[in-house]
Amino acid sequence: MRNIYFDRELSWLSFNSRLLQEAADESNPLFERLKFLSIYSANLDEFLRTRVIPLRSLLMLPKASVRELDFNPVLLLGSIKKNIFSQQNEFSRIYRESILPALERAGVTFLAIHSLDDSDKEFLDNYFNTEISNLLDPIIIKKKKDVPELKNNILYLAVRLAKLQETKSGSKHFSAFVEIPSDKLPRLIKLPTLTKKSYIFLDDVIRINLKKLFPGYRVIDSFSIKLIRDNELFLDEQFPGSIRSKIIKALSLNKNSVPCHLFYDGKMPANFLKFLRDILSLEKEDLVSMWRYHNFVDFLKFKNPGIKELEYPKTARLKYPKLNENNIFDVISAKDLPVYYPYFTFDHFLAFIKAAASDPKVRTIKLTLMGAMPGFKLVKELMNAAISGKLVTAFVGTKTSFGEEKELGWAYAMQNSGVRVIYNSPGLNLHAKAALITRFEDDQEKEYAYFATGNINESDTSSNTDFALFTSDAILTRELKGLFELFEEIISEYKFSDLLVSGYNLRKKFSELIDNEIKNAVKGLPAGITLKLNHLEDKKLIRKLYEASNAGVKINIIVRGVCVLVPALKGQSSNIKVISIVDRFLEQSRFYIFENGGEQLYFSGSADWMRRNFKTRTEIVFPVKDVKIKELIGGILKIYLKDNVKARIINMKGGTLKKPRAEKKLRRSQTELMSYLKSNLLSSQ
């Protein structure tokens, strides 16, 4: 029996391997390659925490319950482990054999302990005494009761010790844990050399000084470790209700049995590893062999030491020259206004909020916020608006993509300034990206809206590709107002017509749009579908796409990450082509285009085609009505589909292959988009 779906987890690992391809690509600047390793590392941590740990919880169930699944968890976990092991070897090879030598040739050196000279050692001795030692709280383990609960996703040194007065042959070994304070200090410490830019890992600075932390003990050796656990278990998105409830019951009977992962240095002696397993109550399946340094996500904080060749040259972001906070409402009232990040500046949205804050005609400001940070201009503008008397409501997601609760600090500050903050919670997960300003004009209310595919903040819009639309369309703004009022519990029900909203009409509308293409194909009318998504996993809609393919509908899909649809299979998906693009900017924009018999329908929005986007999150997909903006999006998608540099074809086996170059010209979509937008957007304003 042929597989009609790829496995979701293995597809995700295939996407993460694309990051390693970019890290290995010597045409990318060196800091860009380090960035891809960092993102790979962070992604893997999250994958293990939110996907693999819940999978491993299935092994706690009776065999009869496991048979209810449509896959074998033991075989799947084995495939995942094999993939990760292979990728870790490639990660290590890229870093040690390619990136490190290239950095050294460029004048940047990461020194090992044995490479330090006397002046380096003197500097680091002083640095440890003044900057590091007061942040450390080493714990010696003499009995199992001494074992602390290791913090989640935090680096530690596991240290082996022996009493100084005992002989080496007869000494009794002890162990200790030392937390590496990379949240408070740079992970890479710059050495005061004149000729080169030299750095050493914070981990190694602590290693050098371990004897200061353990007077009376001889330090035998030390190894980096990191424990990843999932205190919440992301079960809702992974398993059907009956299996989910059985896992929860099994966990409640043994609260210490929640699976976790221990990352450890692969050079750790077997007897020490066994000792750690015993005192931390770990199983063999909990162990993940790594190399000396973990948490490469810290490289995202590593600043260029002043060598311009290490990074892409900075380019000025586009802006509408005549648009400012004094006329922004007039401009939007006259026509819809598109922006495409990161090619466009975020200043236009800041002007939108700033204009609302100072405009006496504006009554309310409402928006969704995720991924913001203290110090963001947007946060300050919202606080200023509240202080000036506007009714500001922010719907706040409390978690970033890496699962850390970073938003709460700035959210509390907003509340203190008068902003009404409504937090996402189970059953109340507004994942849409939108803002609404209500203005009093000609003795009546008029709304102005902003719809986007990605998070509304200056950080994401500078590193991700996202499409956004300013509009005063009466129907779209009225329906956005209705959605916000549902979440504010001002109203209890609402019927959407133009907006597609998950939990209301999103799945139904997409199904109807695909059915319409099938009917048109059967009639011999123009029929086609073009999708650009982050992830494609929803099997109900995938089956619809298979049905459309078999009816003759030509389907092009650009998907960045997970794709469980199997393309190019005769009798199933022979009319479906899938490519994936990974490049400098994270592809976050989403488009859904339907040929509709020659009168194309264009949509954009926040929804991927995953179960969670239809079941557990509230997403918005909005229609694009303006003809010129439709043409603009059509041009953007053509550029993506012609990419022959960063695009990869997803084949029927789930692998990713470089696109064959049908033309000699290199077509890199993210490079071409800047000139396309400049000539096709700004020239029309």
Catalytic residue ranges: 431
Q: Is residue 678 within 8 Å of residue 636, measured between CB atoms?
A: no
Task: Please give the Cα distance from 533 to 652 (Å, whole number).
Answer: 19
Angle, in degrees to the nearest 10, between helices 8-24 and 30-47: 160
User: Angle at Cα 645 formed by Cα 643 and Cα 648, nearest 5°?
Assistant: 75
Q: CB within 8 A of 440, min separation 6: which ones?
A: 361, 362, 363, 446
3-state percent helix, strand, coil for the chain, nearest multiple of 5: 40, 25, 35
Q: Residue 142: name the closest of 211, 210, 214, 221 by CA.
A: 214
Residue 150 main-chain phi, psi, to 5 deg: -65, 140
Sheet with 647-650, edge to edge strand ranges: 500-501, 620-624, 601-605, 591-594, 528-533, 554-559, 576-581, 647-650, 656-658
Task: Please give the Cα distance from 440 to 445 (Å, whole number).
Answer: 5
DSSP single-letter state for residue 133:
G
Q: Which residues pair with 529 in a beta bridge?
A: 555, 594
**3-class secondary-structure state, position 41:** helix
Instruction: State the DSSP string of 46-59.
Output: HHIIIIIHHHHHGG
CB atoms within 10 A of CB 560: 23
What is the identity of the amino acid at 302? F
Q: Residue 190: name the closest of 105, 91, 306, 296 by CA.
A: 306
What would the two tokens of residue 568 be? 């190019």
**With the C-alpha atoms ordered 100, 106, 109, 115, is the resulting torsion angle positive or negative?**
positive
